[in-house]
């Protein structure tokens, strides 16, 4: 069976199940709008939705790029300097677990209504899975291969390039599967807290306008973005890690 068939099957069946639930349970539209109503919003407000989606994507990708820089830098530092990991790791766990809604008012006071607080939230949410996976991946390098390269007088840089980094790549891509999709949700959450553009802002706006149909439309877009992000990571992994299937 083609791998995309089940995905398409679920995508086709979901609106039918949704409509069936409405027929059977008759919930008020304030709780569950019909698929037709939501589809109507997606079509009639497509330009506005596209504009807000681009804003969210920009924040997600920008924050995610920063998270990668930070996480890869720290992972490399930990690889070369075990003491740094012992000193910093507990504090990174603390930073990762700060509930960012608690930081919201501080971030707005310090950074204003700019791109910066949204990037901070995306980085906070996404950097740790990358750091943890890459650190683990670098440590999992085959010690026999490392010793052999050392015997051959390879430099630390050569050992990193030839053994440690390739060993870390599968874990790095596994981290992307979690963190890249998470970056979109993080950007939306940040906008929900303090933005005037983006899908998170639209959620707040739809809520205050009692537009459940618009709320569901935004949710569908966010889900589509997350699926696309996941697919891109899988695609990139299939290309980069093709040696694993040899």
Q: Can residue 108 be called a binding residue for another protein (CB under 8 A)? A: yes
Closest CA to 132 of 170, 91, 75: 75
Q: Can residue 9 be called a binding residue for another protein (CB under 8 A)? A: no
Q: Give how far Cα 144 sits from Cα of 42, 137, 148, 164, 170, Å.
A: 56, 16, 6, 12, 19
**Tokens 């995610």 belong to which residue?**
64
Q: Which residue number, 16 or 50, has a Cβ lying nearer to another protein?
A: 50
41-49 contact pairs (CB < 8 A, 24+): 41/211, 41/213, 41/214, 41/216, 41/217, 42/217, 42/220, 42/221, 45/214, 45/217, 49/202, 49/217, 49/218, 49/221
| Cα–Cα distance, 152 to 202 (Å, whole number) | 59
Q: Can residue 53 be called a binding residue for another protein (CB under 8 A)? A: yes
Q: Which residue number, 44 or 158, has a Cβ lying nearer to another protein?
A: 44
Q: Can residue 64 be called a binding residue for another protein (CB under 8 A)? A: no
Q: Of the ranges 25-33, 66-74, 170-178, 181-189, which one interacts with another protein (CB under 8 A)?
A: 25-33
Choose which of 1, 3, 102, 144 interacts with another protein (CB under 8 A).
3
Q: Give the binding-site size for another protein (rule: CB under 8 A).
A: 42
Choose which of 19, 44, 105, 158 interacts with another protein (CB under 8 A).
105
Q: Can residue 231 be called a binding residue for another protein (CB under 8 A)? A: yes
Count, in order, helices (H) and strands (E) of the chain.
Answer: 11, 0
Choose which of 23, 24, 28, 144 interacts with another protein (CB under 8 A).
28
How far apart are CB 28 and another protein at their closest, in Å?
4
Structure tokens at 4: 């995309």
For the chain, the helix, strand and coil percentages under 3-state DSSP, each to the nearest 5: 85, 0, 15
Q: Which residues bind another protein (CB under 8 A)?
A: 2-4, 27-31, 33, 37, 46-47, 50-51, 53-54, 105, 108-109, 112-113, 194-196, 201, 204-205, 207-213, 228, 231-232, 234-235, 238-239, 242
């Amino acid at each position: 069976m083609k791998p995309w068939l089940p995905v398409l099957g679920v995508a086709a069946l979901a609106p039918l199940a949704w409509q069936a639930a409405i027929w059977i349970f008759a919930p008020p539209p304030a709780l569950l709008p019909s698929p037709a109503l939501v589809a109507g919003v997606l079509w009639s407000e497509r330009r506005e939705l596209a504009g807000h989606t681009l804003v969210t994507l920009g924040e997600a990708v920008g924050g995610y790029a920063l998270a990668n820089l930070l996480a890869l830098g720290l992972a490399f530092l930990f690889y070369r300097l075990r003491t740094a990991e012992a000193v910093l790791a507990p504090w990174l766990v603390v930073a990762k677990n700060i509930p960012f809604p608690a930081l919201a008012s501080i971030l707005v006071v310090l950074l204003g209504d700019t791109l910066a607080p949204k990037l901070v939230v995306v980085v906070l949410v996404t950097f740790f899975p990358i750091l943890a996976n890459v650190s683990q991946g670098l440590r999992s390098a085959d010690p026999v291969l490392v010793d052999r390269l050392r015997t051959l007088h390879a430099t630390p840089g050569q050992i990193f390039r030839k053994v440690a980094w390739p060993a870390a790549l599968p874990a790095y891509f596994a981290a992307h599967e979690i963190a890249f999709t998470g970056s979109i949700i993080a950007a939306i959450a940040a906008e929900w807290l303090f933005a005037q553009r983006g899908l998170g802002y639209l959620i707040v706006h739809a809520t205050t306008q009692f537009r459940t149909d618009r709320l569901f439309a935004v949710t569908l877009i966010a889900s589509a973005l997350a699926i696309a992000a996941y697919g891109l990571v899988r695609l990139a992994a299939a290309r980069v890690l093709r040696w694993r299937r040899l």
